[in-house]
Protein backbone atom coordinates (compact mmCIF):
# COMPACT_ATOMS: atom_id res chain seq x y z
CA UNK A 1 0.00 0.00 0.00
CA UNK A 2 1.19 3.54 -0.75
CA UNK A 3 2.12 5.47 2.39
CA UNK A 4 -0.50 8.07 3.24
CA UNK A 5 -0.34 10.91 5.77
CA UNK A 6 -3.58 12.05 7.37
CA UNK A 7 -3.83 15.39 9.20
CA UNK A 8 -6.28 15.34 12.07
CA UNK A 9 -7.53 18.39 13.93
CA UNK A 10 -6.36 18.30 17.54
CA UNK A 11 -9.33 18.00 19.86
CA UNK A 12 -12.75 16.38 19.64
CA UNK A 13 -12.97 16.33 15.85
CA UNK A 14 -9.62 14.58 15.37
CA UNK A 15 -10.15 12.12 18.22
CA UNK A 16 -13.47 11.07 16.74
CA UNK A 17 -11.80 10.87 13.33
CA UNK A 18 -9.23 8.48 14.74
CA UNK A 19 -12.04 6.36 16.21
CA UNK A 20 -13.31 5.75 12.68
CA UNK A 21 -10.19 3.67 11.99
CA UNK A 22 -10.76 1.49 15.08
CA UNK A 23 -10.83 -2.26 14.37
CA UNK A 24 -9.46 -1.75 10.86
CA UNK A 25 -5.91 -2.47 9.71
CA UNK A 26 -5.31 1.27 9.87
CA UNK A 27 -5.94 1.52 13.59
CA UNK A 28 -3.27 3.07 15.78
CA UNK A 29 -2.74 2.49 19.46
CA UNK A 30 -1.71 5.51 21.48
CA UNK A 31 -0.51 5.81 25.03
CA UNK A 32 -3.06 7.59 27.23
CA UNK A 33 -2.64 11.37 27.62
CA UNK A 34 0.28 11.46 25.22
CA UNK A 35 1.54 14.75 23.81
CA UNK A 36 3.03 13.09 20.76
CA UNK A 37 1.89 14.57 17.45
CA UNK A 38 2.91 11.89 14.94
CA UNK A 39 1.64 8.30 14.93
CA UNK A 40 1.91 5.36 12.55
CA UNK A 41 -0.46 2.42 12.19
CA UNK A 42 0.75 -1.15 12.72
CA UNK A 43 1.74 -1.68 9.14
CA UNK A 44 3.38 1.77 9.13
CA UNK A 45 1.62 2.60 5.92
CA UNK A 46 -0.46 5.40 7.41
CA UNK A 47 0.94 8.33 9.35
CA UNK A 48 -1.44 10.40 11.44
CA UNK A 49 -0.42 13.92 12.39
CA UNK A 50 -2.28 16.06 14.89
CA UNK A 51 -2.40 19.74 13.99
CA UNK A 52 -4.37 22.84 14.94
CA UNK A 53 -7.87 22.67 13.40
CA UNK A 54 -7.23 25.88 11.46
CA UNK A 55 -4.01 24.40 9.98
CA UNK A 56 -5.40 21.10 8.59
CA UNK A 57 -6.25 22.70 5.24
CA UNK A 58 -2.75 24.19 4.91
CA UNK A 59 -1.05 20.83 5.49
CA UNK A 60 -3.30 19.21 2.90
CA UNK A 61 -3.00 21.94 0.30
CA UNK A 62 0.80 21.92 0.60
CA UNK A 63 0.82 18.13 0.20
CA UNK A 64 2.65 17.31 3.44
CA UNK A 65 -0.59 15.57 4.37
CA UNK A 66 -2.40 13.60 1.66
CA UNK A 67 -5.70 13.63 3.52
CA UNK A 68 -7.25 15.64 6.32
CA UNK A 69 -10.23 15.42 8.62
CA UNK A 70 -11.54 18.90 9.22
CA UNK A 71 -14.73 20.78 10.01
CA UNK A 72 -16.70 22.28 7.12
CA UNK A 73 -16.32 25.61 8.97
CA UNK A 74 -12.60 25.60 8.14
CA UNK A 75 -13.30 24.66 4.53
CA UNK A 76 -15.67 27.61 4.23
CA UNK A 77 -13.23 29.96 5.93
CA UNK A 78 -9.95 28.95 4.29
CA UNK A 79 -9.83 29.38 0.55
CA UNK A 80 -7.65 26.35 -0.22
CA UNK A 81 -7.19 24.36 -3.40
CA UNK A 82 -8.11 20.88 -2.17
CA UNK A 83 -10.76 18.23 -2.81
CA UNK A 84 -13.59 17.80 -0.33
CA UNK A 85 -14.21 14.05 -0.60
CA UNK A 86 -16.75 13.05 1.99
CA UNK A 87 -19.15 14.19 4.66
CA UNK A 88 -18.21 12.13 7.72
CA UNK A 89 -21.51 12.92 9.39
CA UNK A 90 -20.24 13.77 12.83
CA UNK A 91 -19.27 16.99 14.58
CA UNK A 92 -22.60 18.38 13.44
CA UNK A 93 -23.43 21.99 14.24
CA UNK A 94 -24.15 25.10 12.19
CA UNK A 95 -22.97 28.58 11.47
CA UNK A 96 -25.38 31.15 12.82
CA UNK A 97 -25.76 34.88 13.18
CA UNK A 98 -26.51 35.58 16.83
CA UNK A 99 -27.24 38.57 18.98
CA UNK A 100 -29.86 39.92 21.35
CA UNK A 101 -33.51 38.99 20.87
CA UNK A 102 -35.26 41.05 18.17
CA UNK A 103 -31.98 42.55 17.05
CA UNK A 104 -31.65 43.34 13.35
CA UNK A 105 -28.99 41.92 11.05
CA UNK A 106 -29.41 44.84 8.66
CA UNK A 107 -28.05 48.35 9.09
CA UNK A 108 -28.92 50.47 6.09
CA UNK A 109 -26.30 53.13 5.31
CA UNK A 110 -24.38 52.13 8.40
CA UNK A 111 -21.69 49.66 9.36
CA UNK A 112 -22.72 46.47 11.14
CA UNK A 113 -20.03 45.32 13.60
CA UNK A 114 -19.63 41.55 13.63
CA UNK A 115 -17.32 39.52 15.88
CA UNK A 116 -16.23 36.11 14.63
CA UNK A 117 -13.46 33.56 14.35
CA UNK A 118 -14.33 33.32 10.65
CA UNK A 119 -13.66 36.71 8.98
CA UNK A 120 -13.50 35.44 5.37
CA UNK A 121 -16.77 33.58 5.71
CA UNK A 122 -18.50 36.55 7.34
CA UNK A 123 -17.20 38.89 4.64
CA UNK A 124 -18.68 36.68 1.91
CA UNK A 125 -22.06 36.27 3.60
CA UNK A 126 -22.57 40.00 4.14
CA UNK A 127 -21.04 41.11 0.84
CA UNK A 128 -23.70 39.04 -0.91
CA UNK A 129 -26.31 41.09 0.98
CA UNK A 130 -24.69 44.42 0.23
CA UNK A 131 -24.33 45.10 3.95
CA UNK A 132 -21.35 47.18 5.04
CA UNK A 133 -19.56 45.43 7.89
CA UNK A 134 -16.69 45.85 10.27
CA UNK A 135 -15.39 42.39 11.12
CA UNK A 136 -13.75 41.97 14.50
CA UNK A 137 -11.68 38.81 14.47
CA UNK A 138 -11.47 37.03 17.80
CA UNK A 139 -9.83 33.73 18.77
CA UNK A 140 -12.66 32.48 21.00
CA UNK A 141 -15.33 33.45 23.57
CA UNK A 142 -17.12 35.19 20.70
CA UNK A 143 -20.36 35.43 22.69
CA UNK A 144 -18.72 38.02 24.92
CA UNK A 145 -18.39 40.58 22.12
CA UNK A 146 -21.99 41.89 21.96
CA UNK A 147 -22.36 41.72 25.73
CA UNK A 148 -19.48 44.10 26.33
CA UNK A 149 -20.26 46.26 23.29
CA UNK A 150 -17.36 45.16 21.10
CA UNK A 151 -19.74 44.17 18.29
CA UNK A 152 -23.41 44.41 17.32
CA UNK A 153 -23.76 40.73 16.49
CA UNK A 154 -21.65 37.59 16.10
CA UNK A 155 -21.25 34.81 13.55
CA UNK A 156 -20.23 31.59 15.23
CA UNK A 157 -20.76 27.85 15.43
CA UNK A 158 -23.81 26.75 17.39
CA UNK A 159 -24.17 23.17 18.52
CA UNK A 160 -26.45 22.78 21.53
CA UNK A 161 -27.17 26.51 21.81
CA UNK A 162 -26.28 26.54 25.48
CA UNK A 163 -23.37 29.00 25.16
CA UNK A 164 -25.69 31.50 23.50
CA UNK A 165 -28.46 30.91 26.05
CA UNK A 166 -26.20 31.24 29.06
CA UNK A 167 -24.97 34.54 27.71
CA UNK A 168 -28.42 35.97 26.95
CA UNK A 169 -28.09 35.69 23.18
CA UNK A 170 -30.29 34.05 20.53
CA UNK A 171 -29.92 32.79 16.98
CA UNK A 172 -31.00 35.58 14.63
CA UNK A 173 -30.40 33.56 11.49
CA UNK A 174 -29.14 30.08 10.70
CA UNK A 175 -26.43 29.81 8.06
CA UNK A 176 -24.50 26.82 6.64
CA UNK A 177 -24.73 23.38 8.29
CA UNK A 178 -21.34 22.09 9.47
CA UNK A 179 -19.88 18.60 10.00
CA UNK A 180 -16.54 16.82 9.75
CA UNK A 181 -15.26 16.27 6.20
CA UNK A 182 -12.54 14.19 4.59
CA UNK A 183 -10.38 16.39 2.36
CA UNK A 184 -7.54 15.47 -0.01
CA UNK A 185 -4.53 17.02 -1.63
CA UNK A 186 -5.23 17.16 -5.38
CA UNK A 187 -1.98 15.50 -6.54
CA UNK A 188 -2.15 12.84 -3.79
CA UNK A 189 -5.67 11.97 -4.88
CA UNK A 190 -4.33 11.10 -8.31
CA UNK A 191 -1.09 9.42 -7.26
CA UNK A 192 -2.44 7.49 -4.24
CA UNK A 193 -5.89 6.91 -5.66
CA UNK A 194 -6.24 3.23 -4.62
CA UNK A 195 -5.20 3.81 -1.01
CA UNK A 196 -7.40 6.89 -0.70
CA UNK A 197 -10.36 4.95 -2.09
CA UNK A 198 -9.73 2.24 0.51
CA UNK A 199 -9.72 4.85 3.27
CA UNK A 200 -12.89 6.41 1.89
CA UNK A 201 -14.52 2.99 2.03
CA UNK A 202 -13.50 2.47 5.66
CA UNK A 203 -14.78 5.92 6.61
CA UNK A 204 -17.95 5.52 4.57
CA UNK A 205 -18.89 2.47 6.57
CA UNK A 206 -18.32 4.27 9.87
CA UNK A 207 -21.10 5.87 11.84
Q: Looking at 141, 174, 176, 177, which residue binds ligand PRP (CB under 6 A)? A: 141
Beta-carbon-side half-sphere exposure of residue 81 (alpha carbons within 13 Å): 5
Asked if 119 touches ligand PRP (CB under 6 A), the answer is no
Where does residue 75 rank: exposed (0-12), middle (13-18), buried (19+ CB within 10 A)? buried
Asked if 157 touches ligand PRP (CB under 6 A), the answer is yes
Residue least distant from ligand PRP (Cβ): 140
Asked if 149 touches ligand PRP (CB under 6 A), the answer is no
Report CA 13 to chain centroid distance, whole Å: 8
Nearest to 9 by CA among 59, 46, 47, 82: 59
Nearest to 69 by CA among 205, 201, 200: 200
Asked if 110 touches ligand PRP (CB under 6 A), the answer is no
Asked if 162 touches ligand PRP (CB under 6 A), the answer is yes
Q: Supply the minimum distance, in Å, between the C-beta of residue 64 and ligand PRP.
A: 25
Asked if 163 touches ligand PRP (CB under 6 A), the answer is yes
Binding site for ligand PRP (CB under 6 A): 140-143, 156-163
Amino acid sequence: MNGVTIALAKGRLGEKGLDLFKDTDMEIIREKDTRKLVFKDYKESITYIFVKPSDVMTYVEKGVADLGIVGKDMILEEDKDIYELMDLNYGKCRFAIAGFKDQTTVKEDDVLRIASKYPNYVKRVFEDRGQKVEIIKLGGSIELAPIIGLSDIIVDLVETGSTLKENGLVILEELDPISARLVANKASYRIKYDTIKKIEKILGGAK
